Amino acid sequence: MTGSGSSTTTAGPVRQRTGGTSPSGSTDPVAAAWTDYLAATRQLDGVRRDAATAASEQARTVQAAREELTSVRTRLAPQEARLRELGVPPMSLMPAPPELTEATRAMTGGSGTVLAALREANRWAHGADDVLAARGLPGAAHWSTRPRNLLLYGPLGLLVPLLQIVAYLVADSDAVAVLALLVGLPAPAVAFGAGWLAVGRLFPPRPGERVDRTPRFGALVCLVPAVLVTAGIVLAMLAA
């Protein structure tokens, strides 16, 4: 309390500024600008990361396309030479103008489209290798290894057992049946050896690969019929 001419003043609580709000309730322009700057920086960083990822993916796709192109060219060169040896005219080995136009149109879809087209071409070239390599059985060139080899091991493994059955049925004495059994003992080994040679002859490998003769599978195919027929004939002789 002061002199008589002065009035009594009561000090109220002091308000502190918070955030970017001024005493009048308006937003602080510096804080708003800083917030906008941070948001723009985050957005720019996201764009930069997306661009870097897209560029990296593009580079990997281009590299894969180059590798596929090299593989296709490697396969087509010996195929062209082989077809010329077989008497195919050179003009038939060149793409026609409509084919070139269609291929050019397909190449405008970007590196991903080009890579897909090259992979498809590589698949066709791979199948052409199988057809050109197969001798006498081109229809089985696309089969997997075991079913394909079964075409050779199977008939060879069944040939001698069938002859044994015929000999036993037409034999007039047990001596002939026993002789048929003895002759059939080395039959699985002979059938397997013949199948081994036939697989290498009819299904030669591609360049740089080895013949997959599936020896265990072939031995089993040749052995099982002979064992079953021999056991059946022995049991029939004992029963008689």
pLDDT digits (tens, 9 = 90+) for 132-141: 655 555 556 5
Burial of 226 (0-12, 13-18, 19+ CB in 10 A): buried
Judged against a pLDDT cut of 50, whether residue 56 lies above it is answered with yes
Q: What is the mean predicted confidence (pLDDT) over 34-61? A: 82
Residues 114 and 97: their CA atoms lie apart, in Å, by 19
Contact 195, 156 (CB under 8 A): yes
pLDDT (tens digit, 9 = 90+) per residue, 37-50?
A: 888 888 888 888 88
- The b/e string for 145-173 (b: 16+ C-beta within 10 A; e otherwise) is eeebbbbbbbebbbbbbeebeebbeeeee
Judged against a pLDDT cut of 80, whether residue 226 lies above it is answered with yes
pTM score of the predicted model: 0.45
Judged against a pLDDT cut of 70, whether residue 154 lies above it is answered with yes
Record the tokens describing residue 151, joined without a space: 């075409």
